[in-house]
Structure 1
Amino acid sequence: MDHGKISKEIASGLVELQSRIKKAGIPSSKLDETLNIATWNIREFGKKPRSEAAVHYLAEILGQFDLIGVVELRDNLSDLGRVLQILGPYWKVVYSDMIPDDGGNHERIAFIYDKRAVVFTGMAAEANPPRTKEGQEYHSQISWWRSPYLASFRAGKFDFVVLSAHIRWGDDEKARQGELQMLADWLDEKRKETTLEDKDLIVMGDFNIASRDDDLFKAITSKGLQIPKALQSLEFGSDLARKKRYDQILHFPIYPENFTNNGGVLDFYCGDIEPLFPGMAKLKFTYQLSDHLPLWMQINTDIEGQILDQIIQG
């Protein structure tokens, strides 16, 4: 990471931020053995230019992981380019097109990754809602406000597909539940496809689910998606107050051994804005960094034993 020539104020802020990152206890990943992944809603990223300090802080946070699914990336990619420049030449991004209406909020979904640890293997697409034929046309009965985005990656010998989503908020929780149920159904059908790039599906994003006890969470997990063991005992959420479970990382437990016991939330906020942005109000702070905290976990990518077992079992 190259922070380059920065002011004393930004340097001091980075030292404080690094201290907060250290408290998150994120273990280093090991090439061809483990991979650190995260999902992060970076509030309205690109709607208005971030300050110089914010761009450096964003890069420092993103750089703790190998692959990050980012939601609320806006149509203007200038700040993303500034962040990638600080992260360095090994960092790449795959992103969706923006949606130019109020429901789409001019948002994109992106996967930012360190190509030294994980490589993009070629498939990237928006998920299409199921359609039924009516006369000569095919129509969807319900739509995603922002289409989930999926891409294929490889880390070592571990091939996987990761899908990221930003589920609608809106005034109607029933409609949000319907969108979550449709995503669960879509993923269930997708993993059964014989031509799917890989059966290892990791699902992440901002699902706008406040609690794991409500009907919204029951909808997204109705077809077998589960919280990895490392995150099941997490006692706090990923909003700044650490109470809401809007953000999730989920998987189908086909190979539960691929998920380590390491996972959690990186709290860059810690209830104290002053060391990072002196004199800044909380609302403005959320538009400089975010009103969400990154949710992360570590994956085992050394699957040599699984491959040999599959050969033996035919």
Structure 2
Amino acid sequence: MRAHEKPDFEYRFDLDEELAAIRKHRKARGRKIPARTSDNLLIATWNLTNFGLQKREKDHLRLMAEIVSPFDIVALQEIADDLEHFHTLRKFLGKSWGYLYTDPAGNNERLGYLYRKKRVEPTGLAAELAMRGYERARITIEGMPAETEPFSGFNRNPYIVGFRSGNFEFSVVNVHLYWSNLRLRQLETTALAKWAGMRLDKAGPPHDDIVLIGDFNMPHVGPGDEIYERLTEYGLTLPKHTTNLVGTNLAGDNDYDQIAFFPSRTKENFSGKMGVFDFDNALFKTLWSSTSRKKQRRFFQYIRYYIADHRLLWAEFKR
């Protein structure tokens, strides 16, 4: 991982005011994160941005815990080898939260989960998706000979964990696909979608309800996008947001983070509600000024370093 440049200025804020701003914003029109009930399950994904590498302070981690707190399961990407910030975040959430994470892989990143222990129970399945040699050899892109660019495996192995919540038993596959090489990202996407489709009818888990979630580094959800085309080719669906916000990057113009599943299986558990939580439109109001581009630059520099450069994506399921 490579840390963003640390802001060359100090900014002081009132923690209680910022926490209140987050709570108010998630109830605002166009966000409306559902309340937890006995019948629903809230699953989210968040790329934490060099988490453990950038020098966040405790108040920043407390704000991040508040952003995470409405959900039952949160798939996390870009956790560093150093887990100090991860454990601090978990402690701010409280003892009712459990956690899981992988070893460092490509780009020295870990993948992880936070989950509410009273609402969600791991079923026992916890594994990194590492494909065998003959399986990798079958991952090809139409029009591109396999020998030209063979699939050698995932840069960061997807992290599969089985969960049970009420009557809903499912496998979550946490992914962070490769960014800087489109061909490799296409191969990773093909491998992931093909693998998921082949697991559906297996006797043992992962099977039936398989939810792919995380940072797909997908510019746009829709026909014509290379990653979208690969996922839907193998039968996966990527539901549309029901909020009035779209992009999960701070600029709001890219759909990097996604939740995908097979409509023949998991659609019956999906409530139809899904959206982006744009915490950046709630935090640090005194640092933002619509009349000063310099202050706007300082705002984005600050929030991507001390909070994250991805917004959180969530979806509601029935349990």
Which band: TM-score by shorter chain? 0.7 to 0.9
Is 2:19 aligned against 1:9?
no
Is 2:37 aligned against 1:19?
no
Alignment partner for residue 174 of structure 1, among 168, 183, 189?
183
Is 2:41 aligned against 1:28?
no
Please give the alpha-carbon distance, in whole angstroms, between the structure 1 residues aligned to 2:282 and 2:64.
18
Offset at 1:22? 2.0
Give the counterpart letter for 2:19 in structure 1: L
In structure 2, the residue matched to 1:4 is none
Contact 2:51 2:78 in 1 (8 A): yes
SS of the equivalent of 1:64 reads coil
- Alpha-carbon spacing, 1:51–1:184, altered in 2? closer, same or farther (3 Å): same
In structure 2, the residue matched to 1:306 is none
Alignment partner for residue 184 of structure 1, among 193, 198, 222?
193
Please give the alpha-carbon distance, in whole angstroms, between the structure 2 residues aligned to 1:255 and 1:295.
18
Offset at 1:282? 1.5
In structure 2, the residue matched to 1:267 is 278
Which stretches in structure 1 are left out of the alignment for 5+ residues?
Answer: 1-6, 134-139, 302-314
Which stretches in structure 2 are left out of the alignment for 5+ residues?
Answer: 1-11, 136-149, 290-294
In structure 1, the residue matched to 2:307 is 289
In structure 2, the residue matched to 1:242 is 252
Please give the alpha-carbon distance, in whole angstroms, between the structure 1 residues aligned to 2:162 and 2:200.
13
Q: Deviations over 1:111-146 (max 9, x none)?
A: 10011111112110000124129xxxxxx8422111
In structure 1, the residue matched to 2:145 is none
Please give the alpha-carbon distance, in whole angstroms, between the structure 1 residues aligned to 2:196 and 2:286.
43
Offset at 1:195? 1.9
Q: Deviations over 1:68-126 (max 9, x none)?
A: 00011111111111111111110010111112xxxx11111111001111111211000
Give the counterpart letter for 1:219 in structure 2: R
Please give the alpha-carbon distance, in whole angstroms, between the structure 2 residues aligned to 1:209 and 1:158.
28
In structure 2, the residue matched to 1:202 is 211
Moved more, 188-197 or 174-183: 188-197
Correspondence 1:153-164 to 2 at 5 A: 153-164=163-174
Please give the alpha-carbon distance, in whole angstroms, between the structure 1 residues aligned to 2:158 and 2:53.
20
Alignment partner for residue 47 of structure 1, among 43, 53, 78?
53
Contact 2:168 2:269 in 1 (8 A): no
Give the counterpart letter for 2:18 in structure 1: G
Contact 2:18 2:284 in 1 (8 A): no
Offset at 1:220? 2.0
- Alpha-carbon spacing, 1:300–1:272, altered in 2? closer, same or farther (3 Å): closer
Offset at 1:45? 0.8
Q: Deviations over 1:227-260 (max 9, x none)?
A: 23x5378662111121101110011112422111
Correspondence 1:61-140 to 2 at 5 A: 61-99=67-105, 104-132=106-134
Q: Deviations over 1:193-231 (max 9, x none)?
A: 222244111110100110123122101222111023x53
- Alpha-carbon spacing, 1:178–1:141, altered in 2? closer, same or farther (3 Å): closer
SS of the equivalent of 2:26 reads helix
Give the counterpart letter for 2:192 in structure 1: L
Moved more, 203-212 or 248-257: 248-257
- Alpha-carbon spacing, 1:96–1:52, altered in 2? closer, same or farther (3 Å): same
Moved more, 10-19 or 239-248: 10-19
Contact 2:97 2:115 in 1 (8 A): yes
Please give the alpha-carbon distance, in whole angstroms, between the structure 1 residues aligned to 2:164 and 2:96.
15
Q: Deviations over 1:45-79 (max 9, x none)?
A: 11133112211111001101010000111111111
In structure 1, the residue matched to 2:236 is 225
Contact 1:14 1:57 in 2 (8 A): yes
Moved more, 172-181 or 72-81: 172-181
- Alpha-carbon spacing, 1:8–1:207, altered in 2? closer, same or farther (3 Å): closer
- Alpha-carbon spacing, 1:189–1:198, altered in 2? closer, same or farther (3 Å): closer
Offset at 1:285? 1.6
Please give the alpha-carbon distance, in whole angstroms, between the structure 1 residues aligned to 2:17 and 2:46.
24
Q: TM-score, normalised by structure 1?
A: 0.83
Give the counterpart letter for 1:52 in structure 2: K
